[in-house]
Amino acid sequence: MTLKNDNPSFVLHGVHNTQFDERPIPELEGDEVLVAIAKTGICGSDVHYLQHGKIGHFVVEEPMCLGHESAGTIVKLGPKVPADAGVAVGDRVALEPGHGCRTCVQCKGGHYELCPKMTFAATPPFIYGTLCRYFKIPFDYVYKLPENVTFEDGALLEPLTVSVHALYNLGGIRGNDTVLIFGAGPVGLLCMATAKALGARRVIAVDIQKDRLEFAKQYAASDVFLPPPKNEGEDNEAYSERFASALRAELKVPASGPGSIDLVVDATGAPVCIGAGLHALRPSGTFVQVGMGPSTVPIPMFIVVAKQLKIIGSFRYGEGDYQTALSLVERGLVDLKPLVTHRYKFEDALDAFKLTQAGKDADGKAVIKVIIDGPQ
């Protein structure tokens, strides 16, 4: 396959300061492969870096190419890619954009997502993202796309894998579970789709925007709930408890026993949602936190202790999650296509970011997932 001699890249130089830079084509080392990027989805973290230049302790201190939700075609193999690796030039692949050091306790223990030396696309200190022509990556972090899985599907495997990690790997979802999911943005919607695909009896979606709930009901949720307004002078703890009670009453969900809420996933990070989720859970239920919110959040500890609740933080994805996500898409159990609401050419990447930030287009259509083409 003939390689082009340039590597145009969409690079963040500072808060609200992006440029199209010409970067060198990556030189392959060891068992890496070179991928020509075909499609890239915009993630909320990409927009956050554009707006603030940092996320928590990840601070952009030098120009950083954006993007990490991508799929493309292998165009070159490194000198030490094993002959039996199962990858070849010309393969269409999805990219898992973060890889560990392979030698630390976390990596060897099967939790490479927690590796202290994690290299993750478009996350400082690593300054390379996937909004470029060519991106290099270890061969075992690409996944061949079946014929019925498109490049756009491949790009969206990344956020789908976040939901697989939260519900399946950590949350231990089982068939017949009732699952409550806060937030009907891209990750929340994919958590709903994952819960449905993995056999949940009931998938309840919560959001403060009616149009998002309408989409969620059409997409994967069996039930939706719009929270009641907060009363004047009502504190968050009292509101969270009333919120949970209103949800159970409206949707006829018992507090315990058959049909009660087995698993809660919060994709918002909002303190009132976290509190309401803990109040809504059945005794010995599981709560998984996916969404990033304030660094410190009040927790109704009496409820946690009295109901023996399990609270788990979910960070990215780990061993086996990509394979599971790809299997769900290949078999038609999760349909990613309805989530793509807008598409842009590479040269219009900044407009794509602005639209994602705005949340609605000029016609008032809600933005769920924006896809950017690879450089032509």
DSSP symbols for 219-277? HT-SEEEPPPPPPTT--HHHHHHHHHHHHHHHHT--SSSTTSEEEEEE-S--HHHHHHH
As a whole number, mean pLDDT of residues 78-91 equals: 96
Distance spanning both ends of the chain, measured CA to CA: 16
Which positions ≥6 away from 83 have C-beta within 8 Å? none
Question: Quick one: pLDDT at residue 18?
Answer: 97
> In whole numbers, what is the pLDDT of the chain averaged over residues?
96
Predicted confidence (pLDDT) per residue in 241-251, tens digit: 999 999 999 99
Confidence of residue 21 (pLDDT cuts 50, 70, 90): very high
How far is Cα 328 from Cα 341, in angstroms, rounded to an integer? 21
Residue 293 has pLDDT above 90, yes or no: no
Q: Quote the tokens at residue 116.
A: 């202290």
Which positions ≥6 away from 152 have C-beta within 8 Å? 39, 71, 336, 337, 340, 371
Supply the pTM of this predicted model.
0.95
Selection from 100, 164, 83, 84 nearest residue 137 by Cα:
100
What domains can you pick out in the chain, each with its CATH number?
Answer: 8-144+336-373 (3.90.180.10), 162-313 (3.40.50.720)
How far is Cα 209 from Cα 310, in angstroms, rounded to an integer? 29
131 and 10 in contact (C-beta within 8 Å)?
yes
Question: Quick one: pLDDT at residue 376?
Answer: 84
As a whole number, mean pLDDT of residues 123-128 equals: 95
Residue 1 has pLDDT above 80, yes or no: no
Question: Quick one: pLDDT at residue 294?
Answer: 87
Confidence of residue 2 (pLDDT cuts 50, 70, 90): confident
Residue 85 has pLDDT above 90, yes or no: yes
- State how beta strands 223-225 and 310-313 pair: unpaired
DSSP structural state of residue 281: E
> Which has more confidence, 169 or 293?
169
**Burial track 209-232 (b if 16+ CB lie within 10 A, e otherwise):** eeebbebbbebbbbbbbbbeeeee
Collapsing DSSP states into helix, strand and coil, what is residue 100?
Answer: coil
Question: Quick one: pLDDT at residue 295?
Answer: 86
How far is Cα 229 from Cα 82, in angstroms, rounded to an integer? 59
As a whole number, mean pLDDT of residues 333-360 equals: 97
Predicted confidence (pLDDT) per residue in 221-231, tens digit: 999 999 999 99
Residues in the chain: 376
Predicted confidence (pLDDT) per residue in 175-209, tens digit: 999 999 999 999 999 999 999 999 999 999 999 99
Least confident of 132-136, 236-240, 324-328, 362-366: 362-366
